[in-house]
Amino acid sequence: MTHGAGCYVFDSQGKRYLEAMAGLWCTSLGFSNKRLIDAATAEYGNFGFYHTFNHKTPDVTIELAEELVRISPVPNARAFFATSGSEATETMVKLSWVYHAARGKPGKRKIIARDRAFHGSTIVSASMCGLSRMQREFGLPLPGFLHTLCPDAYHGRLEGETEDAFTDRLAAELERLILSVGMKPDMMALAKGISSSYFPISAVILSEAVHEALAEFNKDGELFGHGFTNSGHPVGAAVSLEALRIYHEMDVVAHVRKMGQRLRDGLQSASVGSRIVGQIRGAGLMIGVELVADPATHAPFPPALRVGAMFDEQAMANGLIIRPMGDIIGFSPPLIVGEYEVDEMAALFGKTLAEVESRIATPHTASSAG
């Protein structure tokens, strides 16, 4: 790939693609946002780098922390910066261990995550993943990392179980696990869209209780031994502040609800008559289309057929970038998408779907999928 403009990216042959995944759920403001470029350029001119250790944090980073805390749903929160989602996840685990250690319970270390979830690729965040490919070569998960059911009603419902009963069963299972280890959630990880990924920056929002435990731990000079050199980089902070301003000005949540509904409706219409679309699900502009061998029974395709990979290859040929997750076709376009791009996305999806269906119907073509 060579460059991007709005919701499109271009490859080295000059071919244009509609980027229906915002990279990797990243570029919420598209690939060429001038205000973000200007914010980065201005901050590079002001402060090319400074760190956040020993009370020397750049003022722009403090401003970002204050803004994140102001808009976060956690009362009297604090912000801790890192540079990636994995680091933010890992930081939350370490903070929870420190929290319990400061309260005289150093043995309280269990972590619960969901089957099939993705949380990152460092040792701790990979231990939280509910995906064997993130763990099998590395002797993971670490001890004390527990997993509970994936909230997948399409495949997880028991015979005759309603969607409400399924939800109740999963909530009860999670509650049972939480009670068995005595946990209460009070931290949030932020990454990717915080800067529209124009700069690698992530953050953890932590509750007052966690912050107080940290202060208690630090009071005798026993510093919390954790932090990253580039955490809270001033350029990342300046870009993120500008991104937050833009989200606010464009009323991003209302826009996403509207465009998300339009995309979902478009994908639904494009799937009419399809024999392989099992379910279209999601929230806002984060949507998955699950392809199955038999929508009546929800039976999946044989993995060897690699239908998701085949769809990906065909979509690329059509100038559309999606994300295949097994046979689930992921959409998470830049949040700035307008009606034109959403309609083009649905149309290219429909074209690709029809081509994939005919490839599946011709087995020798299907097996060559990439």
List of residues contacting ligand PLP (CB under 6 A): 24-25, 84-86, 89, 118-120, 191
d(CA 33, CA 38): 9
| The two structure tokens encoding residue 338 | 């307008």
Taking the least distance from each CB to ligand PLP, the nearer of 120 and 334 is 120
Q: E strand or H helix at 41, and its extent?
A: helix 34-46
Taking the least distance from each CB to ligand PLP, the nearer of 200 and 319 is 200
Taking the least distance from each CB to ligand PLP, the nearer of 83 and 352 is 83
Q: How far is the CB of 158 from ligand PLP (least distance, A)?
A: 28
* Phi, psi (degrees; rounded to nearest 5) at 122: -75, 170
Taking the least distance from each CB to ligand PLP, the nearer of 243 and 305 is 243
The structure tokens 């289309």 sit at 289
Do the Cβ atoms of 142 and 127 come closer than 8 Å?
A: yes
Residue nearest to ligand PLP (CB): 85
Q: How far is the CB of 322 from ligand PLP (least distance, A)?
A: 15
Do the Cβ atoms of 64 and 240 come closer than 8 Å?
A: yes
Q: How far is the CB of 120 from ligand PLP (least distance, A)?
A: 4
d(CA 231, CA 350): 43
Q: Among candidates 38, 1, 37, which has minimal Cα distance to 19?
A: 1
Name 216's Cβ contacts closer than 8 Å, sequence gap at least 6.
102
Taking the least distance from each CB to ligand PLP, the nearer of 195 and 314 is 195
Q: How far is the CB of 44 from ligand PLP (least distance, A)?
A: 22
Q: How far is the CB of 235 from ligand PLP (least distance, A)?
A: 17
